[in-house]
Structure 1
């Protein structure tokens, strides 16, 4: 066999095992997970920001007026004599 007939490059690419994995880009499941987690985080942070802003700017809620019947019942429980007796 002559030196000119021997091509070493043809043998190196046939049966060699590569320790390096081929680059395939990002894992699709990882991308979906990042998008979902990012969306949930933006939702939670946005809700908290709106809640704290509303807490500062909105006036306090008005209390419901207590009915006369309820006032009378509370006075009787406290032991105060009702007016008129």
Structure 2
């Protein structure tokens, strides 16, 4: 084999060529994926915020669960008031 077969000193691979015309290759695919993912997350968060504010304005307040008679009796005993019928 001759030495000129392996002489790569004057050649630079296109991926490492900073001085070359890299703008003609298009956008970096990693950057495109990052922008798309960030955009989707941002849209999700903004959508949730809009739905939350809409619900706060337009939905009626939640109904409270009815208090059981047993709990009412216990609360009255704590306050020192005797429950009726005792």
Same fold (TM over 0.5): yes
CA deviation string 1:11-52 (max 9, x = no partner): xxxx7xx97331222110000000000001001100110111
Report the Cα distance in structure 1 between the residues aligned to 2:44 and 2:33, rounded to whole angstroms. Answer: 17
Q: Tell me the number of residue pairs that the alignment of Structure 1 and Structure 2 aligns.
A: 70
1:69 aligned onto 2:74? no
Pick the structure with greater CA Rg.
1
Structure 2: any 5+ residue segments left out of the alignment?
1-9, 11-16
Q: Normalising by structure 1, report the TM-score.
A: 0.72
Q: Is 1:45–2:38 an aligned residue pair?
A: no
- Pairwise CA RMSD of aligned residues? 2.0
Q: Distance in 2 between matches of 1:75 and 1:19?
A: 82
Q: How does 1:1-85 map onto structure 2 within 5 Å?
A: 20-22=19-21, 23=23, 24-85=25-86
- The structure 1 segments of at least 4 consecutive aligned residues displaced by more than 3 Å after TM superposition are 18-21
